[in-house]
Amino acid sequence: MTSKKEFNLQQGAEPMAVRPAVLDEVSRIMELVAHSRSIMRQNGNHSQWVGYPSEEMIADDIRQGIGHVVVFGGQVVGYFALLRTPEPTYTYIEGGHWLDDTTPYGTIHRLCCAPGMHGIARRAFAFSEAQCQSVRVDTHRSNTIMLHLFENFGYCPCGVVYMRDGSPRDAFQKMMYPMVNAQLKTYVEREILPRYNHFDSAHRLDHIAMVMAQSMELAQYYPELNRDMVYTIAAYHDTGIVEGRERHHIVSGRIMREDPALPQWFSPEQIETMAQAVEDHRASATSQPRSLYGKIVAEADRDIEPIKIIRRTVQYGLDHYPNLDKEGHWQRTLQHLHEKYGHDGYLKFYIPQSRNRAQMELLWQLMDNPSKLQSIFETIYNQEQRP
């Protein structure tokens, strides 16, 4: 059994290990900090780690038991802090929301490495993910190396948080779902989720990760539900986009029914229930979902966050109507918002514990203020048009 104090992974023939840092290693850790800071500067990130982290901060990490070193060949080659208590700067998040607000999470800070070493970040993240049900991270928008790592490690962008000095950081989260069958989870992560990397911007992996997290969070209110089924429904619900948006819910159901791997974990009756839930998730459906599973994924798919909804609408328009000019995209955005999210729109809600209702009020306030709505549209449109 893997110790919580040491997590071994192989690099070639030698193990790379994570263990608690000790105070005698502070000077070595500061060398790693200096090297990582120089890499940031070389890659155009001149705003992050100015006088941070300090020697006293590292020492304080170690005294609190949250400082960890990565050791290879008997040498300290990496360092990071893993906080297991809520991060105060994550209380407020702008332009989005965390994947999950109820599951305890860990936070990785102050990740640094030695020159010439590769795989430090992967080992630090693997260690942290083995200890936590969820992990949150943040970084400066100019830290392209870390942003690339977050994407590679499956972290979902959630919004913007602000540090104690008021500076913004892009925030990310990843859910581990330890309650889900490990083999099923591995299959979904390897064979199903990568499919979303090839879809339009509004149906990529960040959206699926949000639906999965919201589905699992809502399922907590219904202990009679099978968590493996909830997880799988959310993971498959938009796979049908591969054949186009119009009938994607029907195609998603067919993909689920025809998947030869699912009978390893589910009975034929369970697979049929899941396929029906996938078919019923679409917001424009004229009838209610046939099961509670369908209502859960339909509610989670709503993901009512005003700025994100506007951004996804613009992204979809740019992907599918490239010949429209800016005014055309503005009119299309207005039409879509009012048809789907307006006071008399077709969007329906099914789960009373969902955060969607309160968020819808905020979206209505924006839609009732056309000049502000257009200003937000133009900002997003210009951002999405950048190469």
Residue 2: pLDDT band by 50, 70, 90 thresholds?
Answer: very low
Share of the chain above pLDDT 90, in %: 75
Q: Are 315 and 202 spatial neighbours (Cβ–Cβ below 8 Å)? A: yes
Tokens 């539900």 belong to residue? 225
| 200: pLDDT strictly greater than 90 | no
Q: What is the pLDDT of residue 386?
A: 66
- 146-154: long-range pairs with CB below 8 Å, 24+: 146/111, 149/121, 149/125, 153/121, 153/122, 153/125, 154/189, 154/193, 154/205, 154/209
Mean pLDDT of the chain: 91
According to the model, what pLDDT value does residue 287 have?
87
Q: How many Å apart are CA 273 and CA 291, to the nearest integer? A: 8
Q: Which backbone phi and psi does 366 adopt, to 5 degrees? A: -65, -45
The distance of Cα 270 from the centroid of its chain, to the nearest Å, equals: 27
Q: In the CATH scheme, what is the homologous superfamily, with its name and number, of domain 182-302?
A: Hypothetical protein af1432 (1.10.3210.10)
Per-residue pLDDT tens digits for 316-339: 999 999 999 999 999 999 999 999
Region 204-212 average pLDDT? 91
Please answer whether residues 189 and 220 qualify as being in contact, where contact means their C-beta atoms are separated by less than 8 angstroms: no
Pair 132, 104: CB distance under 8 Å: yes
Query: What are the pLDDT digits (tens) for 248-275?
Result: 999 999 999 999 999 999 999 999 999 9
What pLDDT digit, counting tens, does each position of 14-62 carry?
678 999 999 999 999 999 999 999 999 998 888 789 889 999 999 999 9
What the block records as the tokens of 298 is: 């339909």
Question: CATH assignment of 7-175?
Answer: 3.40.630.30
Full-model pTM:
0.79
Q: What is the pLDDT of residues 166-184, one digit of tens each?
A: 999 999 999 999 999 999 9
